[in-house]
Chain A
Amino acid sequence: MLHEPAPEIHGVDEAASFKRRLGLQMLAGYGLLYVIFIAINVIRPKTMGVIVVGGLNLAIIYGFALIVIAFILAIVYNWMCTKHERSFENEGTVRHG
């Protein structure tokens, strides 16, 4: 609302199935890490206090890791999707809006 409608996207995105599969795989991987994090907190909360490295405990290391890994996965996902889209663009079969 209150902005011009976004341009409609025409054509078939040949990379769609690849991107969807990759996205689901990465989501499953990250989701597993997230579930393990919650499970440790709920089942073995004391484990979160174990010092892992440099005086930092598992809670801090795991928390930072979840943030950093999200960023790394995002970069990798974008890179792989772009690469795949370009391979179709080179074949002239994909048109982005």
Chain B
Amino acid sequence: MGDRSVLAIVIFLVIVGLVLFVSFWTARRARSASGYYAAGGRIHWGVNGIAFAGDYLSAASFLGICGMIATAGYDGFLYSIGYLAGWVVALFVVAEPMRRLGKYTFTDAIDSKFTKRGLKLVAALATLIVSIFYLIPQMVGAGVLIQPLLGLPYWVGVVLVGAIVITIVATAGMTSTTYVQFIKGSLLIVFALVIVVALLVRGLSTTPDQGGRVDFYQYKTIAATQAGGTITPSDAAYMNVGQHDVTAKGKTTTFVKLQNGGTATWWKATVTDAGVALHETQEVVVAKDGTKYVNGAVASSTNKLREVGTIAKIEGQETAKTGSLNPFSFLAKIGSKNSVIDLWKNAKWTQDGETITVYYEVPTTGDTITKPGLNFKLQGSWLDRVDFISLMIALFLGTAALPHILIRYYTVPSQRAARKSTVVAIAAIGFFYILTLFLGLGAMTNGTINVLDNNMSAPLLAQSFGTFLFAMISAIAFATVLGTVSGLIIAASGAVAHDLLDRFAGLIKTERTKVVAGRIAAFVVGAVAILLGLAFQSVNVSFLVGLAFAVAASANLPCIIMMLFWKRTTSKGMIASVIVGTVSSVGIILFTPTLWEIYGLDPSTAPIQMKNPGIISIPLSFIAIYLVSKLTKRDQMAERYATPKTPAAVEAVAATVKD
């Protein structure tokens, strides 16, 4: 193990140790002061605002968005825009009323207006389902991080995060989770800024060498001729020993296997008016006997796929170094129609018992990269456009319905503090999301994309500035996962212990029992998260979060909005909304191409070809609450005059009666 690896591990252990120390220290203080429970509802709004950012800027925000921008350009940044826009809904509509109505959980807020057991049950189950959906990408992020940092397998990262977080949540609680999120949120924003500044100081180069740390690799292109469908290289050192066509979405790409000395590798052919050319690729071949070859030689710790990402032309110049750039000129130079960036795609097929995966360059002009369209086919079919609209709606409406965000409104003492902490969150999160565009484009042009997994683009970009930054960013990202997962498991265990066992079933007799139930729930939810994290390996975490947002926006948001703004809402309407929203969103997801691939089936045969369910499930949930409330309006009078449980609810009933 080299000195660089040791430094990375030491920094990683220090950051994770700091997180655990803060967690247990605050928990011990809490125990000595008031038994097991922490001092809830007393967090300063400034701390809570940054903790919001720490909670929200999850593995998806950091790893997924940067990875998606690095490989799909502006389309990844659309996630940043949508995630931030969702906070506007949280501030203007949800923050203060939720704080006023609730005590512990989202279900409490609903319960303060409607005292129906059935509603408590479905709201708690919805919280549980949304939390678990959101946990999946966090666990995937943990597994992805642990591989390059500690050299441990993916599953170890997933299990490690699960174990640490279960320990934090089961022994500590909300106060310690808040401070963990505050620390990691602050560190994440500061170090993301440090990397962006370093990136701008370095500028752009057509031969990126990571500050001299890695030799720039120039992929070869050789001329060829074509006769009778067979492509022959002009260079006599190479010989065509095989040829294969891959057709995807109506477009055929030809690959030629070239023998050079004792090595045979696959090259990609292009046929233009200027002639035929063969371009060097990267490849992974798994032979019949299971032996894995990378770029023509047996795979090993030293022979693995090269990281990629190059700007081949800067504003028309094929050999150029810009020197330091300001943020705007950095974006303008990459986005120029005369700039060319080499993106990477892959093709996979089986032949003679071998499984062949070829990764090849796709030169793309800068103006294509800095506008939407590479991932979302906005000039494609109507289904592609509907998918895009669906995602943007889910991101906009999902934030204000995420259980782990909603419970953070109960950690501050007043409505005003809830509002102010949301403003701080918007400032911190908005600033970070602007940085993601630079981080993603930086990875795209600095040769720091892992073709096997784009989720590592940001940490690898940090590595190009030295091991210290890599270790810091990776450790912070790992702490990010810890913080977010802690918040989610608290929300989920609260749904089980407080909402279901206590408020719904009445099984909790003492505060101590509730703590024990919470601990057991945290353990079970954590275990489920570990299993799902293992199942969803290699799926882009930002995409997975998009699904979680759709479920949250479908299950919870219509209830919150209608409860606050439509006085004729009935408890049966609310129950119908939660059920319809949850079932329709989860049901659609289960039949989408992404899940089909995870089941091991051909994605093109999935019954539902759309990727995000929001555009169907969110309106369905609104329609359900409207129609069922209309049909059950007789019950409403009884509900109006039901004994309110909190002073805020008294006020709410008084206002309703006045109307």
Contacts and interface: CB of A to CB of B under 8 A. Distances in A.
Interface of A: 1-13, 16, 19, 23-24, 26-27, 30-31, 34, 37-38, 41-42, 45-46, 48-49, 54-60, 63-64, 66-68, 70-71, 73-75, 77-78, 81-82, 85, 96-97
A63 to B, nearest CB: 5
B372 A56 contact: no
Nearest to A39: B389
Nearest to B83: A67
Nearest to A38: B392
8 contacts: A1-B105, A2-B169, A5-B40, A41-B372, A49-B370, A63-B437, A74-B88, A77-B92
Closest 10 CB pairs of A and B: A1-B494, A55-B332, A3-B174, A3-B40, A2-B173, A23-B92, A4-B40, A6-B41, A6-B410, A45-B378
Contact of B91 (A4, A23, A45, A58): A23
A97 B173 CA distance: 23
Interface residues of B, number: 84
A37 B420 CA distance: 28
B88 A42 contact: no
Contact of B414 (A9, A24, A68, A77): A9
B88 A70 contact: yes
B204 interface: no
B286 interface: no
B209 interface: no
Contacts of A96: 414-416
B239 interface: no
Given A2-B169, A3-B411, A75-B423, A56 B332 contact: yes
A78 B174 contact: no
Contacts of B88: 26-27, 30-31, 70, 73-74
Contacts of B173: 2-3
| Chain A interface helix/strand/loop/mixed | helix
B17 to A, nearest CB: 23
A6 B102 contact: yes
A76 to B, nearest CB: 10
Nearest to B393: A38
Nearest to B368: A49
A38 B100 CA distance: 33
A20 B370 CA distance: 38
A42 B370 contact: no
A24 B371 CA distance: 31
Contacts of A37: 81
Contacts of B333: 55
Interface string B399-426: 0000000010011111110011011001
A2 B367 contact: no
Nearest to A50: B371
B77 interface: yes
Interface stretch (B152-160, B300-308, B643-651): B643-651
Given A19-B96, A26-B92, A54-B332, A70 B426 contact: yes
B491 to A, nearest CB: 8
Contacts of B78: 63
A46 B373 CA distance: 9
A2 B178 CA distance: 12
A59 B518 CA distance: 46
